[in-house]
Amino acid sequence: MKALLITDQQEPLLISEIDKPKLGPNQVLVRLKAVALNRRDQWIRQGMYPNIQFGSVLGSDGAGIVERVGSEVSDSLIDHEVIINPNVNWGKNEMAQSSDYSVLGMPENGTFAEYIVVHENRLADKPEHLSWNEAAALPLGGLTAFRAIFHHGHLKPGDNVLISGVGGGVAQFAFLFSLAIGANVYVTSGADEKVAKCIASGAKGGFNYKEESWFKAAQKASGGFDVVIDSAGGNQINDFIKIMKPAGRIVFYGATNGTPQKLDMFRMFWNQITLQGSTMGNDHEFEEMVAFVKRHEVHPVIDSVRPFHDIISAFDDMKAGKQFGKLVVTF
């Protein structure tokens, strides 16, 4: 079968012909219909991810059809249309992942292949209202946004929420989920056209984070935020701190711009502000997220779809950062 491997070559991505994976007793063989990129995949390509294991199949997101099942798995799963939970070994503690946790797609072989073998407990039914491309876009970004917004952000209908860097894959889900529950949603982006698209889809306002005093305009328009969802980090965290309502919660799941040089702790303690890190989500949250997407008929935003033989160009697009929503690849 065809698969995308991470190698130690100068261009580390290699589409290669490898053996179809073998089935264990509790496993299922899924023929992938569509897969989607995450920033993590590009970080691995750039060598900026811990413990890279060359020869692994990359890819955390995918949707497909169960083709075969292991000896301990019911035959009734055959032909089921499924999406795959990208958590590997979250563990028993729902509050945080175990020490042997990893994300599907390095070291465990991932979704960027014609077939994948996973434990049967990694499957969820593909939501019927989603196309294959939309279903493939959902797992990692949807899960990360769901935990950040609801578990850590405690976002409620009528709250003011700011989704920072809304063009990002996870941020798009944070935007859609916040709109779905009736929060007052504001966005930032480095691209005015992305802000305009979000306003057209229901955002109350939007701001370009490249403008130095964007946060003053955000404060004026919103009256302050109950929740901020961010993945950029850096010194901008201090701008968020200035525009939080008392007891507001800043939840971050990435730090693309690194650590802030200083942190306005005085304003944080006086205004009872929480700065909270978040990673992925537990298996229960994955189920809840899929149910939420079905209940609210959320449609993931797809930036583009391309055939598997062009997958490396999707990595290039992610590196350039021009996407709005998920980069999807089909078989």
3-state secondary structure at position 39: helix
Tell me which residues in 299-318 interact with ligand NAP (CB under 6 A): 318
CB of 201 to ligand NAP, least distance (A): 14
- Given candidates 171, 243, 250, 275, which one binds ligand NAP under the rule CB under 6 A? 171
Q: How far apart are CA 150 and CA 13, in angstroms?
A: 36
Interaction between residue 279 and ligand NAP (CB under 6 A): yes
- 227 and 249 in contact (C-beta within 8 Å)? yes
Q: Is 235 in the site for ligand NAP (CB under 6 A)?
A: no
> Which residue do the tokens 């590196």 mark?
319
Closest approach of ligand NAP to the CB of residue 20, in Å = 29
C-beta of 127 vs 281, nearer to ligand NAP: 281
Give the helix ranges, DSSP H, for the chain.
Answer: 39-45, 132-137, 139-146, 169-180, 192-200, 214-222, 237-242, 265-270, 283-295, 311-320
User: Of 5-13, 32-40, 119-127, 265-273, which part binds ligand NAP (CB under 6 A)?
Assistant: 32-40
Is there a contact between 112 and 58 (Cβ–Cβ < 8 Å)? yes
Residues 6+ apart with CB under 8 A from 47: 12
Residue 43 vs 292, nearer CB to ligand NAP:
43
Does position 176 bind ligand NAP by CB under 6 A? no
**Binding residue for ligand NAP (CB under 6 A) from 27, 87, 133, 144?**
144
Nearest distance from residue 8's CB to ligand NAP, in Å? 22
Which residue's CB comes closest to ligand NAP?
165
Q: Closer CB to ligand NAP, residue 38 or residue 56?
A: 38
Cβ 103 to ligand NAP shortest distance, Å = 8
Per DSSP, the three-state class of 86 is: coil
Pattern of binders to ligand NAP over 146-165, x per CB under 6 A?
A: ------------------xx
Q: Judge contact between 59 and 112, C-beta under 8 A.
A: yes
The least distance separating ligand NAP from the CB of residue 154, rounded to whole angstroms, comes to 18
List the interface residues with ligand NAP, window 204-223 (CB under 6 A). 209
Strand partners, 83: 63, 124
Determine what percent of the chain falls in helix, strand and coil, rounding each to the nearest 5. 30, 25, 40
Residue with tokens 């370009």: 208
Query: Does 127 engage in binding with ligand NAP (CB under 6 A)?
Result: no
Structure tokens at 235: 């010194």
Q: Does residue 189 interact with ligand NAP by CB under 6 A? A: yes
- Answer whether the bond into residue 307 is a cis peptide, omega within 30°: no
Closest separation in Å from C-beta 324 to ligand NAP: 7
190: alpha, beta or left, given left = phi > 0 and alpha = psi -120 to 50?
Answer: alpha
Of 153, 169, 206, 300, the one binding ligand NAP (CB under 6 A) is 169
Which whole-number Å values give the CA distances from 192 to 14, 166, 257, 323, in the listed order?
35, 11, 20, 13
Interacting residues toward ligand NAP by CB under 6 A: 38-40, 43, 144, 164-171, 188-191, 194, 209, 231-232, 236, 253-254, 256-257, 279-280, 318, 321
